[in-house]
Amino acid sequence: MLDVSNISKIYAAGDKALDNVSFSVPAGQVVGLIGPSGAGKSTLIRCVNRLVEPTSGSISLAGKTITGLSSGELRSVRRRIGMIFQEYALVERLTVMENVLSGRLGYVSFWRSFTRRYPAADVQQAFALLDRVGLIDHASKRADALSGGQRQRVGIARALEQNPELLLIDEPTASLDPKTSRQIMRLLIEICRERQLPAIINIHDVVLAKQFTERLIGLKAGRIVFDGAPTELSETVLTTIYGEEDWKTLDSDMEAA
């Protein structure tokens, strides 16, 4: 489904964020991307929809090469990839409905989007998605009137409104409390199952990652140092990814959760 091969990214300042990263994600698989801050997780998922331009390597989605596209073609690939963000990244002064409908921007003309006259099917789908994430009553509210968990649900609805073939999820729970984090993760996984949607989730919280994903990729200093099932994530592996720490306590916590 998604093929990433030999991606490297060197920022203008000279920092090497990614170093020859290759992996592929089959249809319907939810991959957790873990690693310390600055390991290149954010850069990696932003390379996939080219919000960050990779320095070298190639990425293809369902056989179509994403790297090296012109800006017009890039837009039509971007609309097939839904993205969910850490701080929700909703446009705060727009209504919930406008935020969800903005998922269709890649499909409609400027005039339609400017006058907010989206095709009936788009509006219907937006209502259905808001209902799915439990926010149908909030459609006309401004996004900044919602709580953190609610905003992230709007973010999810916006990404799904694109009818994506792939979800990129950047730290979905980083600004949420533990309970809401679990609810959001559960919702994301359910939705991916329902739609057989492959997803890459950047996640800081190893416990959540182990609990909710079926495959984990460990990134350290721009290189993949682990790729396997969550059960294979041993103390030794965690030490390789994050460095020396008392990892024993992690498992007891998992049981408690």
Partner 1 sequence: MISNSNKSVVASADTSSLSQTTALNDSSTRYSTYPTSWRRPAVFFPNRWLRWGLWLLAAIWFYLAISTIDVNWVRVAEGIERGWRFIKGFLTPDFTSRWNDISTGLVESLTMTLTSTVAGVVLSVPVGIGAARNVAPTAIYYACRFIITVSRSLQEIIIAILFVAMFGFGPFAGFLTLSFATIGFLAKLLAEDIEDIDESQTEAVRATGASWLQLINYAVQPQVMPRLIGLSLYRLDINFRESAVIGIVGAGGIGATLNTAIDRYEFDSAGAILLIIIFIVMIAEYTSGFVRKWVQ
Residues that bind partner 1 (CB under 8 A): 49, 51, 75-81, 83, 85-87, 89-94, 98, 102-107, 110, 113-114, 155, 158, 162, 168, 249-250, 252-253, 256
Q: How far is CA 86 from CA 6, 58, 116, 190, in A?
A: 26, 26, 27, 19
Residue with smaller CB distance to partner 1, 144 or 214: 144
Strands of 115-214 (E only): list them. 166-170, 199-202
**Cβ at position 40, least distance to partner 1 in Å:** 17
**Cβ at position 212, least distance to partner 1 in Å:** 18
**Cβ at position 250, least distance to partner 1 in Å:** 6
Residue with smaller CB distance to partner 1, 162 or 224: 162
Contact 138, 130 (CB under 8 A): yes
Q: How far is CA 34 from CA 37, 58, 68, 233, 248, in A?
A: 9, 22, 28, 11, 18
Residue with smaller CB distance to partner 1, 116 or 193: 116
**In the sheet where 81-84 sits, what is the strand order?**
81-84, 166-170, 199-202, 30-34, 215-220, 223-228
Residue with smaller CB distance to partner 1, 8 or 175: 175
**Cβ at position 20, least distance to partner 1 in Å:** 25
d(CA 70, CA 68) in angstroms, rounded, equals: 7
* Of the candidates 90, 218, 103, the residue with the CA atom closest to the CA atom of residue 167: 103
Cβ neighbours around 121 below 10 Å, total: 9
Residue with smaller CB distance to partner 1, 105 or 136: 105
**Cβ at position 28, least distance to partner 1 in Å:** 22
Contact 184, 173 (CB under 8 A): yes
**Cβ at position 83, least distance to partner 1 in Å:** 4
Residue with smaller CB distance to partner 1, 171 or 224: 171
d(CA 227, CA 115) in angstroms, rounded, equals: 47
d(CA 46, CA 40) in angstroms, rounded, equals: 10
Residue with smaller CB distance to partner 1, 166 or 224: 166
**Cβ at position 223, least distance to partner 1 in Å:** 25
